[in-house]
Amino acid sequence: MLKILLLFVLVEYTLQGRHGRQYNRHKGHHNRYKGVPSWSHSNRYRGVPSWSHSNRYRGSKTTQYDSYRPRKPTWPPSTTTTPIVNTTQPGGGDVRLPLNLYPVLYELELQPFIYEINPTDFYFIGKVTIQMECRQSTNEIVLHSNQLNITTSSVRIEPMAPGQNPIIPTIEFDTVNHFLILKTNTQLVSGSNYSVYIEFRGPLLSRLAGFYQSSYQRGNDTIYIASTQMQPTDARKAFPCFDEPAVKARFNVTLIRKKHLISLSNMNQIRSKNLANDWVADQYAVTPLMSTYLLAFVVCDFTFKEKTTANNVLYRAWARPEAIDQTTYSLDVGVRILTFFEEYFATPFPLPKQDMIAVPEFGFGAMENWGLIVYRETSMLYDPLDTAENFKQFVTMVISHELAHMWFGNLVTPSWWDDLWLNEGFANYIAFVGMDFIHKDWLVLDNFVVSSVHNALSFDGLISSHPIYVPVSNTDEIFQIFDSISYEKGGSVIRMMQFFLGDETFQRGLQLYITERAYGVASHDDLWDALGRQSIIDGKPQKVHDVKRIMDTWTLQMNYPTVFMERIGNDIKLSQSRYLRDKNATDPGTYNSSFGYKWEIPFTFTTQTNKDFNQNDADIIWMGKEGTDILLSGVISGNDWFIGNIKQYGFYRVNYPKDNWDKLTDQLKMDHTIIHPVNRAQIINDAWNLAKSGDLGMNTALKTVEYLSMEDSYFPFFAANNELVYVRNMLERTELYGDFSAFMKKTFSIPLSELGYNNTGSGHLEILLRRLVVERACDYGNEDCINNAISSFQNLMQGTGPINPIDVDSRQNVYATAIKYGGVKEWDFVYNRYKTSNVASEKLTSLVALSYSREVWILSRFLQYSLTDDIRRQDGLIAMRLIARNPIGRSLVWDFLRGNWNDITNRFGSASFLIREVTAKFNTEFDLQSIQTFKDSLPNLGNAAAAFDRAIETTRANIKWMDSNFQIIKDWLQNLS
């Protein structure tokens, strides 16, 4: 799933830096998931067990619907349920199911009621028959249910063997762990098979989780749809189930809808039956073995476009009728990338169809439901006349990310959420491999370094980080690890692993892993084993045969190393040490390293005389986890500079003696093109972050950007911009900001004069570079840039035609600049575009621009809108984040967050990303105390606990940075002027 983290990548693409970015507890659980039920061998996965009743659906007729008369049921009285007394605190305790009984097949029927006058009255009813095998004798069945109304009279248990009587259980609920406990007086016998029948009802809320409602406008009419978001633990909100990723079963789904709507689910529809009162029952083919979190269904009035892949998979793109023409690009990309991944993984896509649907309200970027991928509209829709190039790149990335999950996550699933990164880390990186197949000229594999590797290095440099593999035991902990470590660090170390194994061995190892684990579950050790065996088959060096030995140092301990390259005559000595942004930070001891914070490092380097920026696995020098220094004899001569970590394939930083840093910065000024663009970006990123940690002088870091006005590559510019945004954030409330702004104005004005404003005939990367340069130039007060933007905006406001005359890649800057230097008239004009545009990317472009106002009252009104339907629910947190980036808005958002904490967390489920955003600029003792005081005032931090810890650590580091570097930067700016 493209979670909140990567969704905000789109905001970063849009902003380009504007405004200023218990360990062994479950060990025993994993062995029980090593395979699938003994009877469910892969050669018969398409069927169902011989004792299953599901074959009754394969005939031409079924009787279960003939007497069905949909009605609106009433809530049963609360006295029919008997909750247990909870002995654990909310969000605490072990949430694992006992699994004495294991599900085999769900026969699920759902009927959403989205037709009431008041949407708060929307609800759904359902019934499910779960066929299961008893693995250990017991007198209770424990499964998941959350916010569902279930009564004793609506539940029965039937032995599958003939001649036995039904069992009527008593019901208990554990509302903390979401357990539905069915207790029986009759012993359920190991080796026997049972079916559990449950009728239920649930609210169809607008919380964007489980089975939920959303809406869009068509003229003056509000059109409602029902859709799902199950991952990680919300399938239990849609139906009673065994809601753990390893508990795979088959699903036979029936959706009941009104005649004027359509329904979709994971599989192809095999039957549709008309019922009374204009209801229709759509029945779907039985799924292969899959996890509950991948089940999906949608009821809506959408239309589609379709294609068929080379391997005869029906591929459809669904959207609102008004937006269906915006699916052409995503449909084409989806078909091509699906076919590419079939070849890359050497495994055919196992379903007969693949749908993609863009829903108006979706809490995340997208969700990889098998056969029915659900997208936020900005993640799927593309209109070449109204969608900027950065959005096109984002749409391509999201589609590729979700399709990668069809193999990593869906076909082979992690045993438990502690290996979430096997899903998200792989999809994060392999998405770029898929993109590269579609758009070679975009150089996305280089872009991965500045967009993912650098983000992960920043996040993982904190003492409040965590290992990639981290045990989780409750829903709050599960939610917290959907973060930069699982996604971006996970993807970064996978890229590193591909490098040291070699592309072909890496690919064949993945194919072996998928073939052996298809339709089952796996852990990271299973992956290491497959890759290691493949490296032996391919005759790779013995060092990489033990992939586990290498990768455990990267996945089982947090943080990463800095490699120091020291020149001794013609030799270079290599040593490693743990990188921490704040070396004085107190380690809470949550995660202890068994490797002493030493790593197995695949090191590469090049020198000025023997430049080689195209190295491969044969060029690697291995630095061991023992931490022993390595001496490279006779590798450098004369007065050469040297660079480590070629193309930044390794997840580590590189530091040098000052004289080598000086040679590198001199080279950048003399002829930066001698160094590969990725390593230019790396030099900037490493220098600035080593300066933050005190491992390098700030004067050296500053020198790495003095050449920037001559840079012509997007990647170093992107990396430098990110670091300079940090300086801006630190200085914007100080007397030094004016001098810094003048330097930035000059730095960006030179490339602006060369690039201009016209994108006609430009390639992808040139468009992205021009956009970044123009926006920075306007931000820092370039008069020509500002006047150009305001003039373009006035022409737009005065125009009467439907066509927007502003170049699509300039709109973000034009709207934002006009609002920044305008008033309420300009703000209201853009807000109206946000409300009425039929193009999702135009809506987000407008939303970003709205945060640029310098009027306190307008920003305050915008904040109030974010908690109401004046801003779409899915955009509310984004709006708050954006306002927090505004120098004027930061304190407003901090006050708003503290004053409306319950409303924010109730509406959005989490405020973690907002905490991170609003505190990113905090750099005083007063700021630090305000975070701590607010944290201490909250009775239950829930899934925001880690965000508060990071905010406190980051603020302390910012304070230290200001104390150490303010005078240095002041002197540097004065010397430049």
- Tell me whether residue 401 is annotated as binding: yes
List Cα–Cα distances, 608 to 40, 612, 663, in angstroms.
60, 9, 10
Banded pLDDT at 560 (limits 50, 70, 90): very high
Owner of token pair 């870091």: 701
How many secondary structure helices (H) and strands (E) does the chain include? Answer: 29, 30
Residue 104: the pLDDT is 98
Give the tens place of pLDDT for each residue, 11-30.
Answer: 555 555 455 433 333 333 33
Residue 154: the pLDDT is 93
193-203/155-159 β-pairing: antiparallel
Banded pLDDT at 9 (limits 50, 70, 90): low
- The two three-digit tokens of residue 866, written as one number: 């974010």
Residue 473: the pLDDT is 85
Q: Taking Cα atoms as reference points, which of 218, 238, 229, 220 lies closest to residue 302?
A: 218
| 479 vs 247: which has the higher pLDDT | 247
Calpha distance 578→493 (Å, rounded): 16
Cβ count within 10 A of residue 183:
14
Calpha distance 707→705 (Å, rounded): 5
Helix axes 714-731, 945-976, angle to 10 degrees: 100
Banded pLDDT at 3 (limits 50, 70, 90): low
Cα end-to-end span (Å), the chain: 49
pTM for the structure as a whole: 0.90
* Strand partners of residue 652: none
Q: Taking Cα atoms as reference points, which of 967, 916, 841 lies closest to residue 395?
A: 841
Give the tens place of pLDDT for each residue, 626-672.
Answer: 999 999 999 999 899 999 999 999 999 999 999 999 999 999 999 99
Which stretch of 62-66, 197-201, 224-228, 262-266 has the lowest confidence by average pLDDT? 62-66
Is residue 40 predicted with pLDDT exceeding 50? no
Domains and CATH numbers, the chain: 80-85+93-404 (2.60.40.1730)
Alpha helix (H) ranges present in 179-261?
none
Identify each DSSP E strand in 259-368 by its residue range. Answer: 262-265, 269-274, 279-284, 297-300, 303-308, 314-319, 353-359, 366-367
**Peptide bond preceding 541 in cis form (omega within 30 of 0):** no
Q: Taking Cα atoms as reference points, which of 493, 555, 505, 503 lies closest to residue 533?
A: 505
| 911 vs 201: which has the higher pLDDT | 201
Mean pLDDT within 28-43: 34
Residue 81: the pLDDT is 36
Residue 775: the pLDDT is 97
The conformation of residue 451, written as its DSSP 8-state character, comes to I
Single out the catalytic residue among 199, 402, 826, 842: 402
| DSSP helix/strand/coil, 621 | strand
The conformation of residue 240, written as its DSSP 8-state character, comes to -
Instruction: Provide the b/e sequence for 600-617 (b: ≥16 CB within 10 Å).
Output: bbbbbbbbbeeeeeeeeb
According to the 3-state scheme, what is the secondary structure of 696-749? CCHHHHHHCCCCHHHCCCHHHHHHHHHHHHHHHHHHCCCCCHHHHHHHHHHHHH
Is residue 445 predicted with pLDDT exceeding 80? yes
| 6 vs 681: which has the higher pLDDT | 681
Banded pLDDT at 76 (limits 50, 70, 90): very low
Contact of 944 with 917, CB cutoff 8 Å: no
Contact of 368 with 402, CB cutoff 8 Å: yes
State the sign of the Cα–Cα–Cα–Cα dihedral 633, 638, 644, 648. negative
Phi, then psi, of 354 in degrees rounded to 5:
-135, 115
Contact of 171 with 180, CB cutoff 8 Å: yes
Residues above pLDDT 90, as percent of the chain: 82
Owner of token pair 């076909």: 411
Is residue 466 predicted with pLDDT exceeding 50? yes
Is-catalytic flag, 735? Answer: no
Phi, then psi, of 540 in degrees rounded to 5:
-75, 160
List Cα–Cα distances, 388 to 381, 391, 533, 767, in angstroms.
12, 5, 45, 9
Contact of 641 with 607, CB cutoff 8 Å: yes
Calpha distance 288→41 (Å, rounded): 11
Residue 351: the pLDDT is 98
Residue 38: the pLDDT is 32
- Tell me whether residue 405 is annotated as binding: yes
Is residue 750 predicted with pLDDT exceeding 90? yes
Contact of 680 with 716, CB cutoff 8 Å: yes
- Most distant pair of Cα atoms in the chain: their distance: 94
170-174/82-83 β-pairing: parallel
Which stretch of 89-103, 459-473, 764-778, 836-850 has the lowest confidence by average pLDDT? 89-103
Alpha helix (H) ranges present in 218-271?
none
Banded pLDDT at 810 (limits 50, 70, 90): very high
- The two three-digit tokens of residue 721, written as one number: 């911009």
844: amino acid identity, one letter: L
Helix axes 824-836, 783-798, angle to 10 degrees: 60
Q: Taking Cα atoms as reference points, which of 725, 794, 782, 714 lies closest to residue 748?
A: 782
Residue 434: the pLDDT is 98
Burial environment of residue 310 by CB neighbours within 10 A (0 to 12, 13 to 18, 19 or more)? exposed
**DSSP string for 11-57:** HHHHHTTTT---TTTTGGGGGGGSS--TT--GGGTTS--TT-GGGGG
Residue 1: the pLDDT is 64
Residue 31: the pLDDT is 35
Give the tens place of pLDDT for each residue, 348-380.
Answer: 999 999 999 999 989 889 999 999 999 999 999
Q: What is the mean pLDDT of the chain?
A: 90
Calpha distance 294→560 (Å, rounded): 33
- The two three-digit tokens of residue 527, written as one number: 């992956």
The conformation of residue 233, written as its DSSP 8-state character, comes to T
Q: Taking Cα atoms as reference points, which of 338, 341, 354, 331 lies closest to residue 266?
A: 354
Side by side, the strands of the sheet bearing 630-632 are: 630-632, 571-579, 560-568, 653-655
- The two three-digit tokens of residue 587, written as one number: 């380690």
Alpha helix (H) ranges present in 855-942?
856-866, 873-885, 889-899, 901-908, 912-918, 925-937
Residue 94: the pLDDT is 63
Owner of token pair 């633990």: 233
Cβ count within 10 A of residue 177:
20
Give the tens place of pLDDT for each residue, 853-889.
Answer: 999 999 999 999 999 999 999 999 999 999 999 999 9
Give every CB contact of residue 714 below 8 A, 6+ residues apart in sequence: 447, 765, 766, 768, 769, 772
Burial environment of residue 439 by CB neighbours within 10 A (0 to 12, 13 to 18, 19 or more)? middle
Is residue 703 predicted with pLDDT exceeding 80? yes
Mean pLDDT within 670-675: 98
- The two three-digit tokens of residue 303, written as one number: 């239309």
